[in-house]
Amino acid sequence: RKEVEQDPGPFNVPEGATVAFNCTYSNSASQSFFWYRQDCRKEPKLLMSVYSSGNEDGRFTAQLNRASQYISLLIRDSKLSDSATYLCVVNTNAGKSTFGDGTTLTVKP
């Protein structure tokens, strides 16, 4: 079993749709959680950190459920420019990062 698991998708949604991605992790000692975005043939870039109380950044909302060991990302009012691969990242207390294999989103007109 992988340490960090994501549904690979692809998710194909129309513009304006709401879409949600989930990610599960196996290491209960994990301390920090992130969502990174990776465009085709580009490097990953931080989208947002995920806090225990949940957090929002514009159209993006991230949630953490420590008891069930999963994090989620909700995108509202999808734009064409949201098309990318979304990587779930989990850090241990020592700062070691484990990336999921990503979920691919395609937003269509």
Partner 1 sequence: EAGVAQSPRYKIIEKRQSVAFWCNPISGHATLYWYQQILGQGPKLLIQFQNNGVVDDSQLPKDRFSAERLKGVDSTLKIQPAKLEDSAVYLCASSPWGDRGETQYFGPGTRLLVL
Could you tell me the smallest distance in angstroms from the CB atom of residue 102 to partner 1? 5
Could you tell me the smallest distance in angstroms from the CB atom of residue 62 to partner 1? 14
107 burial level (CB within 10 Å; 0-12, 13-18, 19+): buried
Could you tell me the smallest distance in angstroms from the CB atom of residue 15 to partner 1? 26
In the complex with partner 1, the residue whose CB is nearer, 72 or 92, is: 92
Alpha-carbon distance of 52 to 69, in angstroms, equals 11
Instruction: Name the phi and psi angles at 36, rounded to 5.
Output: -110, 155
The binding site for partner 1 (CB under 8 A) comprises 4, 8, 31-32, 34, 42-46, 49, 87, 91-102
